Amino acid sequence: DQQVKQNSPSLSVQEGRISILNCDYTNSMFDYFLWYKKYPAEGPTFLISISSIKDKNEDGRFTVFLNKSAKHLSLHIVPSQPGDSAVYFCAGKDNFGNEKLTFGTGTRLTIIP
């Protein structure tokens, strides 16, 4: 049972344009969502998060949008830069008081110079 789904395994975007990465979830008990970025041969690094009480969180070039009714979140990167080329994972945390994260399968983003 895949509770967090990233349906696009890969995405290519021209440098300077907007990158939009999508994530769907099925667990209605998730109350916190995170995006991680992973370069080859490195561990994932935390990028941005959003609480379920919000619908948008922005940090520089990165914005995460949450649509609770659709159980959908998206990460917008604008403008996209070559250093953004990486695998992006979304993750959800439930409100049961534990610290477990459930990750999606990842989207490989390639920025074309």
Partner 1 sequence: DVKVTQSSRYLVKRTGEKVFLECVQDMDHENMFWYRQDPGLGLRLIYFSYDVKMKEKGDIPEGYSVSREKKERFSLILESASTNQTSMYLCASSSQSDGSNQPQHFGDGTRLSIL
- In the complex, the residues that contact partner 1 under the rule CB under 8 A are 4, 6, 9, 32, 34, 36, 41-46, 49, 51, 89, 91, 93, 98-106
Instruction: Compare residues 12 and 51 and give the one whose CB is closer to partner 1.
Output: 51
Q: How far is the CB of 73 from partner 1 (least distance, A)?
A: 15
For the chain, the farthest-separated pair of C-alpha atoms sits apart, in whole angstroms, at 44
Instruction: Compare residues 100 and 113 and give the one whose CB is closer to partner 1.
Output: 100
Q: Which helix (H) or strand (E) holds 82?
A: none
Residues 6+ apart with CB under 8 A from 83: 111
